[in-house]
């Protein structure tokens, strides 16, 4: 029984050392509050300043989140709105 416990202890120590090495290595790679990439391409230029990258990403995702406006004079917009409007909403034809 003592040999079995000793064997299990050795295995656990080995895994603990590997886990510590993994987290130590990961903490060197990933720094909190830093971007996961050093630069991005915007149009024909490259941005490498962290603040400018953050602002560009904010602008990009803010634009993605905007609701599209329906142009009532555009027949295509009207058709799309009619197709996606629920039958119980006012104005559904």
pLDDT in tens, the chain (93 residues): 677 677 667 766 666 666 676 667 666 666 666 677 788 898 899 998 888 988 998 998 888 888 778 888 999 888 888 887 766 566 555
Q: Which domain holds residue 3?
A: 1-30
Domain co-membership, 89 together with 58: yes
Domain co-membership, 21 together with 44: no
For residue range 20-38, list pLDDT tens digits in order. 766 676 666 666 666 777 8
- Measured CA to CA, the distance from residue 57 to residue 61 in angstroms comes to 6
Domain co-membership, 24 together with 41: no
Whole-number pLDDT of residue 46: 92
Please tell me the pTM assigned to this model.
0.43
**Domains identified in the chain, total number:** 2
């Amino acid at each position: 029984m003592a040999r079995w416990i000793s064997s299990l202890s050795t295995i656990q120590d080995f895994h603990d050392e590997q886990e510590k090495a993994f987290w130590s290595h990961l903490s060197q790679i990933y720094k909190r509050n830093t971007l996961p990439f050093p630069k991005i391409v915007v149009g024909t230029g490259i941005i490498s300043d962290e603040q400018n990258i953050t602002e560009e990403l904010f602008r990009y995702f803010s634009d993605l989140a905007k609701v599209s406006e329906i142009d009532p004079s555009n027949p295509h917009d009207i058709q799309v709105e009619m197709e996606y409007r629920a039958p119980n909403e006012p104005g559904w034809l």
